Chain A
Amino acid sequence: MDNTDSSQQFSPAEVKNIWQQMCAKLQPEITSSNYGTWVLANPVTEILYIDQNKLIATVTSPTAFHATNFKKNFDQIVSQSLGEITGKEVQIEYKIGNPNIRSEIPHPNQSSYIPDTANYNRSPQSPLQDTYDSPITNKQQIPETSVSTQPANSAFSFGPLTSTMSPRVEQLFSEATLSASSVDHEMAIAQNIGMRRDYTFSTFAVSTTNEMAHAAATAVSNRPGSSYNPLFLYGGVGVGKTHLMHAIGNNILHNNLQVRIIYCTGEEFTNEIVQAIQNKKATAFKNKYRNCDVLLIDDIQFIAGKNAVQEEFFHTFNAITQQSKQVVMTSDRPPQEIRLLEDRLRSRFEAGLMIDIGQPSFELRTAILLIKAKAAQLNIPIELAKTVAAKVDSARRIEGIIKKIRSEIELKRKNLDEHLIAEILKIEEPENKQQIRVSPIEVIKSVSNHFRLKQSELKGNKRLKHIVTARHITMYLMKKELQMPLADIGKWFSNRDHTSVLHAVRKVELDIVQKPDLHQEVSALVTTLRMISR
C-alpha cells in the first residue's frame, strides 16, 4: 500500500481494499459458516497510524458477543494478516456498532451514512458485495436487533396495507403530521379558548364607522399589554365588537402560542364566580383569571348590578393590568351609560382607550356581505348585495342571510337572483324582529335626543324640514316597532289625522331604502330603543 507519512488515517477506500485482501486470505482457511459469522460480520472499518511502523485497526462488530469471540478466536490471525498486507505492525481495537447504520428518519444528509460504492473498486464476485450493504448476510436469519437492510425510504412507502387498497393510514411520523402539529396546536388552543378561527382581521371590513376600533385592536394584538390598556370597545348589536375581539385573540395566538388567553362573556364570568363560590374553589378561579396574559371579556355590561361579581372583577382587573397584561372589553354602551356599574370600575374602564363602533353604513354592510359571501363560497353580484345591505341593518343578520342563501342554493337548487333574495328577506324579517317594549313617550324622548330637538318641537306643528323628518321617523317607529294603531299615534302629535301618520310611515319606508344615512339613523334609533326595552 502506498501511504505517505503525513496521512494519519487510511481513507475508507484504502481500508476497504485492505479488508478485502484480508478476507480473500482468510476465506480458504476457515469454514464458511465461521467465515460468515466471525469475519464478514466484523469488518475492519478504520485504520490509524500510531507511528511509522505501527497501525491500529478498528473492528466494528454488531454486538458484544461478536466482539468478544472475534477477539478470542481471530485477534491474532487478523492482526497478523493485516500486518502482512500493510507491512506494519497492527494492533486491533474493537467497537460495537453498525458499519453502515442508517437512521430511521430520512433526511437530506442521509447519503453520508451509506458507503459510496463507486469508490470501492471491488470485483463483482467479491463476497464483500453483500456484506457492506448488509452486515447480516442473507443466509443468516435476521435477529430482532439487526440493522436495516432496506433503504430507509422504502420503509415509509408502505403501510400495513398496500397503497392500492382504498382505506389508508398515514405515517404517524410523516412530514405532514409533523408539520401540521403546530398548526393544529394553534387551532386547538383557539378552539379551547372559545375563539372563532374565522374572526380575524383579514375578514373584518373596515370603514369610517369602525376604522378607529380596527386600528386600536390591531395595535393591541401586536403589542398586547403595552399599547392601549384596557381597550374598551362599545357599540350596538352586530357592529363587529366580538369579531374584533376574536381577531385580537387570534392574532396574539398566531404570534405566540405560549400566551395564555382567556376569552369569556360577562355572563360566563359571572356564572364561573357563582360556581367557584358554590364549589369552594374560589382560589382556582382567582388563579385562572389573575395569571392570564390576555383577558378578553365580551359584553362586560352584564356584570353591572352584581356586587360580588364586580368586586371580583375589580381585583382581577387590577391584578392583570398591574402586570401590564392586556384587558379587552366590549359592551353595548359606554361605561358612563352602564347603569349600576361601580364607580371605581367605571373610572378604570375609562382610563384606557374607549372606542365607539358605529352602526355599519350601507357601504360597509355591502362590503361585509361580500366578504362573508366569499368566505361561504357564494358568488353574490354586487347589485344583489346592495339590495340585501339596504334591507338588513346589522352585520350579524347578514351572516344569517348568507347561510340561508347558501342552503337554499345547495339544498333546494335555486338560482341566486333577485327573487330568491326577496323571498329570503321576506322570511327573515318577522323572525328577527324583536318586540320592543317601550312606551310612546320613550320613543319621543329618544328621537328628540337623537336629533337634538325639544320634545315639544317633535310633537308640535312646525314644518321645518329636519323637524318633519324626525317627526316622521318617530311615527314610523311607533307604527313599526310598537305596533300602535295609526289613530293612537296621531294623538301623540297634536292630534294628527291617521292618514297623516300613514303618509309619514310610508314616506319613511320608502326613504329608508333609498337614503343610506336615513336608514342608519333609523337603525341606530331602533338599537337605542332595544337597549331601553331590556
Chain B
Amino acid sequence: MKLSVNQPELHKALSFTHKIIPSKPQLPILSSVLFHADTDQLTISATDLFVGIKVSVDAGIQEGGTIVLPGKELKALIQSLPSEFITITAKNGTVTIKTNQTTVKLQTQNAQDFPEFPVIEGTSISLPTAQLEQMVHRAAYAASVDPTRPILTAFLWRLSEDKWEVVTTDGFRLAWQEFAPLQGLEDIQLLLPAKALTEIVSIAKQVSSELVEMKLDQNTKQALFKIGTVEKFVRLIDGTFPPYEKIMPSEFITKVTFDRQEIVDTLKRAMIFGKDSSQIVTFDILEDSVNISATSPTLGSFLDSIKQVAITGQTQQIAFNTKYLLDYLNTLSCDTILFEMNESLKPAQFTDPALISHRYIAMPFRVAT
C-alpha cells in the first residue's frame, strides 16, 4: 500500500473512529483501526462489535492494500503532526508514516483478524440533519447512562402513519417529542442508543452533511447511518420501552407560567445551596407568587420569590432535583415556560407554551419534613 493524505482530513477521520475504540477490549484487535485502500478511495474502520464506523477519506492512492494500526496511538500521532501531506506506505508488515520532518514505523497487525462488518439490507430513508440535531438537543440528556438498563439508554422512535414520537427517559424524567411521520417507516418502534445518535449528529455537523441516510435491518437488528463519507453501524436495542404514555399526565390542577431566563437564574442560584442536599430545590406555589428555596445544612438557606408569574389552580408545594430542571431549561430558547402539576409527589410537566410537540416530565422528590 502506498498513499498520501492531508493531515487535517486524516485527523478528522481518526477522531471519528477514536470514539468507537473501546479502552479495554477483550479482543486486542478491537483497539485498532483498519485502513483499506482500493484504487481511488481510502476507508478507515473501527468497531467494538456493537457499534462500527467506516470513514472514507480523500487520498492520493498509488497502490491499494489493507493494514491494521493501533487506533489510540495513531490518532495521537496524527493529531500532533502539522497540517501537511502525510505519506503512508506498507511493505512486508511494516507501515511507514512520513512527513517532511517525521518518520514513524509501525507493525501492522493481521488484517484477517480485524472483524468483518455486517451487510445491512433495507431501504434507505433520508433524515434532515437539522431535525436530528433538534431531536438530540432536546432529549439526549434525559436518556440514562446506566448500562445495566440498556432500554433506558435509548431513544424510542415510535413511528406510525400520522406521527413520529420520540421519547427518552432515565426513569426519573422523560422528554417527549413529536414530529411529522417519516415516509417509508410506519407502525414500527425502534430503540436507538442515545450515545450513538448524539455522535451521528455531531459527525453530521462536522462533515457539514445536511442529510443523514438511515438503513434499518430488522433481521440483524442493525441500523446503518450514512453521513456524507461516514458510515456508522449501530446495534438497535432489544426490549420493550416503558409505557411512557401512561405516566404523561394529560390534565393538571396547578399551572404556572414563568419567565424562562428568570427561573434559570433562580435555579442556578439555588444550586449553590443545594450542593449538600442532593440539589433539591423546593417550589412553593402561592396565590400570586412562587417561592423557590434550597437549604444547605452547612451553608445556610436560599429563597427566591418570583412574582412575575401567571398562576392558575391550587397552591402547592413540590421539590425537584435542580439538575433535572436545568438540563431541560437550558436546551430551550423561548421566553416563557409553562409548569404544570397535580400533586407534590406526582409527575409534573414543563413545556414551552408555544411548542406543543415537546414535553418534559419530571418526577418530584419526596422531601422529608
Could you list which residues of chain A lie within 8 angstroms of chain B, going by C-beta atoms? 33-34, 36-37, 62-69, 72, 96-98, 101, 103-105, 137, 139-150, 155, 159-161, 165-173, 177-178, 180-181, 184-185, 187-189, 191-192
Q: Is the CB of A37 within 8 A of B26?
A: yes
Known: A63-B49, A141-B25, A144-B193. A172 touches B222 (CB 8 A): no
Tell me the smallest distance from the CB of B309 to a CB of chain A, in Å: 19
B240 contacts partner chain A, Cβ-Cβ < 8 Å = yes
Q: Kindly list chain A residues whose C-beta atoms are within 8 Å of the C-beta of B366.
A: 167-170
Q: List 23 A-B contacts (CB under 8 A).
A: A37-B49, A62-B50, A64-B120, A65-B50, A65-B118, A67-B118, A96-B220, A97-B221, A101-B239, A104-B242, A140-B24, A141-B23, A143-B147, A148-B149, A167-B366, A168-B365, A170-B363, A171-B363, A172-B173, A173-B171, A173-B247, A180-B346, A184-B251
User: Which 3 residue pairs of A and B lie closest in terms of their CB atoms, listed nearest first?
Assistant: A188-B251, A64-B118, A64-B220
Q: Is the CB of A141 within 8 A of B153?
A: no
B252 contacts partner chain A, Cβ-Cβ < 8 Å = yes
Q: Kindly list chain B residues whose C-beta atoms are within 8 Å of the C-beta of A139.
A: 26
Which residue in B169, B235, B277, B278 is a CB contact (below 8 Å) of A64? B235
Q: Kindly list chain B residues whose C-beta atoms are within 8 Å of the C-beta of A167.
A: 277-278, 280, 319, 365-368
B233 contacts partner chain A, Cβ-Cβ < 8 Å = yes
Tell me the smallest distance from the CB of A190 to a CB of chain B, in Å: 9
Given A65-B47, A155-B146, 8 more A-B residue pairs with CB atoms under 8 Å apart are A37-B27, A103-B240, A141-B25, A144-B150, A144-B153, A155-B149, A155-B171, A160-B321
Q: Is the CB of B222 within 8 A of A64?
A: yes
B28 contacts partner chain A, Cβ-Cβ < 8 Å = yes
Q: Kindly list chain B residues whose C-beta atoms are within 8 Å of the C-beta of A36.
A: 26-27
Q: Kindly list chain A residues whose C-beta atoms are within 8 Å of the C-beta of B100.
A: none
| B118-159 contact mask (Cβ, 8 Å, vs A): 1 or 0 | 111000000000000000000000000011111111000000
Alpha-carbon gap, A33 to B28, bound state (A) = 8
Alpha-carbon gap, A150 to B217, bound state (A) = 28
Q: Kindly list chain A residues whose C-beta atoms are within 8 Å of the C-beta of B247.
A: 172-173, 177-178, 181
Which residue in A64, A98, A159 is a CB contact (below 8 Å) of B172? A159
Alpha-carbon gap, A145 to B195, bound state (A) = 10
| B161-179 contact mask (Cβ, 8 Å, vs A): 1 or 0 | 0000000010111100000
Known: A67-B118, A181-B246. A166 touches B368 (CB 8 A): yes
Q: Is the CB of A171 within 8 A of B172?
A: yes
Q: Kindly list chain B residues whose C-beta atoms are within 8 Å of the C-beta of A141.
A: 22-26
Q: Is the CB of B50 within 8 A of A68?
A: no
Q: Is the CB of B240 within 8 A of A105?
A: yes
Q: Kindly list chain A residues whose C-beta atoms are within 8 Å of the C-beta of B47.
A: 65
Chain A residue nearest in CB terms to B361 = A172
B345 contacts partner chain A, Cβ-Cβ < 8 Å = yes
Chain A residue nearest in CB terms to B151 = A104
Alpha-carbon gap, A167 to B366, bound state (A) = 5
Known: A145-B150, A168-B365. A188 touches B249 (CB 8 A): yes
Could you list which residues of chain B lie within 8 angstroms of chain A, going by C-beta atoms? 22-28, 47-52, 115-120, 146-153, 169, 171-174, 193, 195-196, 217, 219-222, 233, 235, 237-243, 246-247, 249-253, 277-278, 280, 313, 319, 321, 342-343, 345-347, 361, 363-368
Q: Is the CB of A143 within 8 A of B27?
A: no
Alpha-carbon gap, A380 to B280, bound state (A) = 42
Alpha-carbon gap, A178 to B171, bound state (A) = 12
Q: Is the CB of A172 within 8 A of B171?
A: yes
Q: Is the CB of A172 within 8 A of B51?
A: no
Q: Kindly list chain A residues whose C-beta atoms are within 8 Å of the C-beta of B368.
A: 166-167
Known: A63-B49, A65-B47, A172-B347. A148 touches B150 (CB 8 A): yes
Alpha-carbon gap, A195 to B253, bound state (A) = 12
Q: Kindly list chain B residues whose C-beta atoms are within 8 Å of the C-beta of A96.
A: 219-222
Chain A residue nearest in CB terms to B253 = A191
Chain A residue nearest in CB terms to B368 = A166
Q: Kindly list chain B residues whose C-beta atoms are within 8 Å of the C-beta of A34.
A: 27
Alpha-carbon gap, A67 to B22, bound state (A) = 19
- Name the residue in A63, A147, A187 with the highest tally of chain B Cβ atoms < 10 Å from its Cβ: A63
Q: Kindly list chain A residues whose C-beta atoms are within 8 Å of the C-beta of B27.
A: 33-34, 36-37
Chain A residue nearest in CB terms to B153 = A144
Q: Is the CB of A172 within 8 A of B172?
A: yes
Which residue in A65, A103, A143, A161 is a CB contact (below 8 Å) of B278? A161
Q: Kindly list chain B residues whose C-beta atoms are within 8 Å of the C-beta of A101.
A: 238-239
Q: Kindly list chain A residues whose C-beta atoms are within 8 Å of the C-beta of B321.
A: 160, 169
Known: A64-B217, A141-B24, A172-B171. A178 touches B363 (CB 8 A): no
Q: Is the CB of A188 within 8 A of B252?
A: yes
Q: Is the CB of B313 within 8 A of A191?
A: yes
Alpha-carbon gap, A160 to B144, bound state (A) = 11
Tell me the smallest distance from the CB of A4 to a CB of chain B, in Å: 33
Known: A173-B247, A192-B251. A143 touches B240 (CB 8 A): no
Q: Kindly list chain B residues whose C-beta atoms are within 8 Å of the C-beta of A137.
A: 26
Tell me the smallest distance from the CB of B27 to a CB of chain A, in Å: 4
Alpha-carbon gap, A475 to B171, bound state (A) = 73
Q: Kindly list chain B residues whose C-beta atoms are within 8 Å of the C-beta of A191.
A: 251, 253, 313
Q: Is the CB of B171 within 8 A of A65?
A: no
Q: Kindly list chain B residues whose C-beta atoms are within 8 Å of the C-beta of A177.
A: 247, 346-347, 363
Q: Kindly list chain A residues whose C-beta atoms are within 8 Å of the C-beta of B26.
A: 33, 36-37, 137, 139-141
Q: Kindly list chain B residues whose C-beta atoms are within 8 Å of the C-beta of A62.
A: 49-50, 235
Q: Kindly list chain B residues whose C-beta atoms are within 8 Å of the C-beta of A64.
A: 118, 120, 217, 220-222, 233, 235
Q: Is the CB of A143 within 8 A of B238?
A: no
Q: Kindly list chain A residues whose C-beta atoms are within 8 Å of the C-beta of B172.
A: 159-160, 169, 171-172
Which residue in A63, A65, A187 is a CB contact (below 8 Å) of B253? A187
Alpha-carbon gap, A65 to B235, bound state (A) = 9
Tell me the smallest distance from the CB of A246 to a CB of chain B, in Å: 16
Alpha-carbon gap, A428 to B120, bound state (A) = 82
Q: Is the CB of B152 within 8 A of A104?
A: yes
